Structure formats: structure tokens, C-alpha cells
Amino acid sequence: MWVASNLPHGLVVEHAGVALHINGANVEFDPENLFKNGLAPDTAVRFHGHGLTEFTGKQADAFTEWFGISGKGPGPVQSESIQIAQTEADAKKAAAKHDTSKTARGGLDPQKDLPEGVETKKD
């Protein structure tokens, strides 16, 4: 079972005697070595602004139970900050679908898209 979470620093949950460490969007973040353009690159544990975590065995059972309980009230499950998937590929699809860092508008073309009266100059 795979989990994709866009919570900034993830979440640690203790349920049924099992500690569940859910990776967040800033997993492997190094404040001394900032990302270019402010965007974190995708890695094995981060994809499209989501931390990826794999649970197996007792952890998977405990997480499934916690996920069902947590989804009944307000919180990260109900707000879809935590996505659950059976495969890594499905978790990545869910992360890409819920990527909030995407913009709804493409870049501007200075020749066509600038407001009237605004000029550009070559540096």
C-alpha cells in the first residue's frame, strides 16, 4: 500500500500500537541547499509536491484502519491531503492529480499578452 501526502512536514500517527511515519512534501528538504526556482525535484520519496510512503504488513493494516476512522471527520484525510493507493504508480497519479503547485495559466508572451501601454525593453 502506498500513501501520497502533501502535508508540508508529513505526519506521525500512532494507531493500534503501531507508529506510522507519513512522508510530507518537504521530505529530504535541506534548508542549506535550496531548490532552484523554488520547486523541489521529484525523488523516490517525493513526487509532484507529495511525500510518498509505502506501508506493508502490520503498518498497512493499522494505516487502513486509521484512514477509515480519520476520514469520518475534518482533517487531512477528508481534505484529501493524504491519498491512499495500492501501487506506487497509482500513488504518483494521485499526487499529480492533486498537485497544488501547478498554475492554471501558462506563461505570458510579451508580444501578445501584455496590457495596453506596457512596453518591454531589451537589457
Name beta bridge partners: 98.
Answer: none
Q: Please tell me the pTM assigned to this model.
A: 0.72
Task: Please state, rounded to an integer, the average pLDDT across all residues of the chain.
Answer: 83
What residue has cell string 493507493?
Answer: 85
83 backbone dihedrals φ, ψ, rounded to 5°: -110, 145
The string of pLDDT tens digits covering residues 94-122 is: 988 887 655 444 556 667 766 677 777 77
Measure Cα distances from 117 to 108, 112, 113, 114, 120 in Å. 16, 12, 12, 8, 10
The string of pLDDT tens digits covering residues 55-85 is: 999 999 999 999 999 888 888 888 888 999 9
Q: What residue spans define the domains of the chain? A: 2-26+43-97
Alpha carbons 103 and 85: distance in angstroms, whole number: 25
